[in-house]
Amino acid sequence: MNHKFDFVNNRINKLKKDNLYRELQHTIVKKQYIHTKNKKLLNLSSNDYLGLDIGNLNFKQFQSSSRSVTGNDRKFLELEKKISEHKSQEKTLIYPTGYMANLGALTAIIEKYDTVFSDELNHASIIEACKLSSARIKIYKHNDMSDLESKIKKTKGKKFIISEGIFSMDGDSAKIKEITEISSKYDIITILDDAHGDFVFGKDGRGTANQSGVSKKIDLYISSLSKGLGSFGGYVSSKKNIIELCINRSKSFIYTSALPSPIIEFTLKRFNSNREPKRKKLWNNIHLFHKGLEQIGYETSSSSQIIPIIIGDEKTTLDFGKYLLKNGIFVQPIRYPTVKKNSARVRFSVTAWHTKKDINETLSILEKCAKKFRIV
């Protein structure tokens, strides 16, 4: 007789057979290192891009309730004002996570019968938010402005374009200037998820739109406080009435507890710190890593701190990751459904924590990988 949960075991076994099974690892992260199973490894999977070693959590009352009830600590307003200036917008709203910011903002402003044009490589949180909005969704080919404009021409009604600034799995940049030109031409609302570009790109780390010279042409920014800034949370920054609508309609804002006030104070300390020396060091590390990969013979379309080596086959990618782990490098293999089938990769995240020695030692190991796995 079959047990009623046999289907679960069948699904797990299928994942294992397809080399798509995942297990959680218990770790401790300290600066550029990660400790796991009594091993000290160089961490090249971190999102703490600037490595700001600033500020300690001051533990007082840690939690209250939703921000719409008693959880709206005064520090939220202080941080939100600073972020609004940072993104050249009227008002900002902080969410518990970047994922929740995408879900909340997009479902608050996009409705049934609207049309969303979304890059095919957009993050899962964008994809899920678009589905939840009940809008018509039109996926355009990655960074293909001709395909985007062609689809727009065939569409009536209220329209939105949404793209990441830096694509999280490929590390390449969106064609933000071209997107804003198309948006202006057809009177479309432009939404930019700049989670991986914020605090890294542009003047003073103002992001990818700033670097492209179109900061004020973005209608709505969604971003993260847990990557470049190395804290926790997400935010939406836009016009005052958009934020008012999010406060009143965004379920992932209304029906959840607020971020604890010590986290907000910690984030403020990091925001107010002198981030430029760390950002400069980060970019030196990025250029060094890119140049080294090129010299070995690896090809990458990345223009950022996110640098994937695309291998393709899932089994080979897992073996590649194990070889790196054996040689003291912690990098997670990325497989379907995070990326398309047969485009599995090892995804490196360079940070300001890394030293020149760290980068060069990693490149030396990657040179051995290239020969062992016959990738280049």
Give per-residue pLDDT as tens, 226-278. Answer: 999 999 999 999 999 999 999 999 999 999 999 988 899 999 999 999 999 99
Whether residues 101 and 246 fall in one domain? yes
Non-local (6+) Cβ contacts of 203 within 8 A are 210, 211
Question: Do both 250 and 111 map to the same domain?
Answer: yes
pLDDT confidence of residue 121: 96
Q: What is the CATH number of the domain that holds 35?
A: 3.90.1150.10
Task: List the end-to-end C-alpha distance of the chain, in Å, as a whole number.
Answer: 52
pLDDT of 59 over the 70 cut: no
Say if 58 falls within a structural domain: no
Predicted confidence at residue 79, as pLDDT, reads 97
pTM exceeds cut of 0.75: yes
99-120 in b/e form (b: 16+ CB < 10 A) is: bbbbbbbbbbbbeeebbbbbbe
In this structure, are 311 and 343 located in the same domain?
A: yes
> What is the number of domains present in the chain?
2
Q: What's the rounded Cα separation, in Å, for the pair 272 and 157?
A: 42
Asked whether residue 264 falls in the same domain as residue 288, the answer is: no
- Give the model's pLDDT for residue 61: 62
Task: State the pLDDT confidence band at 62, using cuts at 50, 70 and 90.
Answer: low
Q: Is the pLDDT of residue 73 over 90?
A: no
What pLDDT, on the 0 to 100 scale, is given for residue 161?
98
Q: Which amino acid is at 152?
A: I
**318 & 360 share domain:** yes
List the structure tokens of 259.
């971020």
**Helix count and strand count (H, E) for the chain:** 13, 14
Same domain, 196 and 48: no
